[in-house]
C-alpha cells in the first residue's frame, strides 16, 4: 500500500499568531491519510510543539557554510522536519531553480535524512504545445541521477503541479492528472521497478475540498500538495478526509 499524504504549503503567508492558530486547529486530526504542513522558515520552530509532521518549503543546494540568507537541509532536519519541498514552480520561475540546482537540493535533503517532495509540471504554453510529458520527463531525470550518484538516496515524494493550475482556481481534470501520474510512475519504474510502485505521487494546483474527492479517486493520485486551501484549517482537513 502506498502512503497517502496531504501536504499544506503555506508559502510566504501569515504571522506567528496565525501560524500557531492554524497548527492548533489541525493538531487533533486523525485519519488514514498523513498530513504535513510547510510554514515559512521563521515559523517552523512553532511546529516543534505539535504532533503534526512538517517540512521546509525549500533548502540550500549546499551544505552548511558561507551562504548568507540560506537555510540548509541539515538545519531543517535538526528542527524536526521530515520533508522538504524542492523545485516548486515558484522557485523555478521566480528564483532561478534549474534542474541542476534541484538535483543539488535533493542531494542535500537525502544526505540530511529528509524526504524531498520534488515538484514537476508544465506551463500553460507547454501544455498547449503538447510538451507536458517531455517537460515532466526532463524534470524527472533528476531522480535517475540521484539514484545513481547519491549514496543516501531513499524515499522521495513527487508532486505533479501543472503551473497553470497553481493559485488560479483551474484544476487539471482528474483524467488529465491521472494520465500524467501514470506517466510519472512509469518513468520511475524504468529507473527502478520498486520505486515506481512505492512512490507517493501528489497532485497540486487549486486543490479544494470540492474537487479533492474526484482527484483522489484516481488510482495513481496518492494525495495533494495544497497551497491556498491549506491556510484554512477546515478546508485543509476536509481535503485530507476526502
Ligand atoms: P494552490 O497552490 O493550491 O494555491 O494552487 C499549490 C502549490 O503551489 O503547491
Q: Is the pLDDT of residue 68 over 90?
A: yes
Q: Pick the atom of ligand 1 nearest to 225's CA.
A: 9
Distance 193 CA to ligand 1 centre (A): 30
Give how far Cα 30 sits from Cα of 26, 51, 175, 240, 241, Å. 9, 11, 29, 10, 9
SS3 115: strand
Residue nearest to atom 6 of ligand 1 (CA): 227
Question: Which residue puts its alpha carbon closest to atom 9 of ligand 1?
Answer: 227
State in Å: Cα 65 to ligand 1 middle.
Answer: 32
* Average pLDDT rounded to a whole number, residues 183-199: 98
Stretch 187-207: mean pLDDT: 97
User: Hey, whose CA ends up nearest to atom 7 of ligand 1?
Assistant: 227
Q: Is the minimum distance from the CB of 209 to ligand 1 under 6 angstroms?
A: no
Q: Which atom of ligand 1 is nearest to the CA of 9?
A: 9
Q: pLDDT value at position 44?
A: 98
Mutate to test the pocket of ligand 1, among 56, 226, 229 (most ligand atoms within 8 A of CB): 226
Distance 138 CA to ligand 1 centre (A): 22
Cα–Cα distances in Å, from 135 out to 78, 216, 223, 238? 34, 24, 22, 32
Q: 116: Cβ below 6 Å to ligand 1?
A: no
pTM, rounded to two decimals: 0.97
When pLDDT is averaged across residues 144-151 and rounded to a whole number, the result is 97
Tell me the pLDDT of the chain averaged across its residues. 97
Query: Nearest-5° angle of CA 167, CA 205, CA 217?
Result: 145
Q: According to the model, what pLDDT value does residue 178 have?
A: 98
Model pLDDT, residue 1:
81
- CA distance linking residue 162 with residue 121, whole number of Å: 5
The string of pLDDT tens digits covering residues 3-15 is 999 999 999 999 9
Catalytic site residues? 88, 161
What pLDDT shows up at residue 118?
98
How many angstroms separate the alpha carbon of residue 67 from the centre of ligand 1? Answer: 28
Is residue 105 a contact partner of residue 116, using CB atoms and an 8 Å limit?
Answer: yes
Average pLDDT for 36-57:
97
Determine the distance separating the centroid of ligand 1 and the alpha carbon of 11, expressed in angstroms. Answer: 9
Question: How far apart, in whole angstroms, are the C-alpha atoms of residue 185 and residue 151?
Answer: 22
Amino acid at each position: 500500500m502506498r502512503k497517502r499524504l496531504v501536504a499544506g504549503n503555506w508559502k510566504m503567508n501569515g504571522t506567528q499568531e496565525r501560524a500557531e492558530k492554524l497548527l492548533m486547529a489541525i493538531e487533533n486530526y486523525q485519519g488514514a491519510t498523513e498530513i504535513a504542513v510547510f510554514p515559512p522558515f521563521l515559523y517552523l520552530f512553532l511546529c516543534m510543539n505539535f504532533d503534526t509532521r512538517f517540512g521546509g518549503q525549500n533548502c540550500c543546494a549546499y551544505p552548511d557554510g558561507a551562504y548568507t540568507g540560506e537555510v540548509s537541509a541539515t538545519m531543517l532536519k535538526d528542527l524536526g522536519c521530515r520533508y522538504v519541498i524542492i523545485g516548486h514552480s515558484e522557485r523555478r520561475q521566480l528564483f532561478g531553480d534549474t534542474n541542476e540546482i534541484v538535483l543539488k537540493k535533493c542531494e542535500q535533503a537525502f544526505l540530511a535524512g529528509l524526504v524531498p517532495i520534488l515538484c514537476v509540471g508544465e506551463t500553460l504554453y507547454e501544455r498547449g504545445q503538447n510538451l507536458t510529458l517531455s517537460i515532466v520527463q526532463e524534470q524527472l531525470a533528476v531522480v535517475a541521477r540521484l539514484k545513481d550518484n547519491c549514496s543516501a538516496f531513499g524515499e522521495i515524494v513527487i508532486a505533479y503541479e501543472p503551473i497553470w493550475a497553481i493559485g488560479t482556481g483551474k484544476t487539471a481534470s482528474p483524467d488529465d492528472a491521472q494520465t500524467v501520474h501514470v506517466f510519472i510512475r512509469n518513468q520511475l519504474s524504468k529507473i527502478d521497478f520498486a520505486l515506481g510502485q512505492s512512490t507517493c505521487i501528489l497532485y497540486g494546483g487549486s486543490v479544494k475540498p470540492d474537487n479533492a474527492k474526484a482527484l483522489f479517486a484516481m488510482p495513481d493520485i496518492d494525495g495533494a500538495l495544497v497551497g491556498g486551501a491549506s491556510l484554512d484549517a477546515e478546508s485543509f482537513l476536509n481535503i485530507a478526509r476526502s
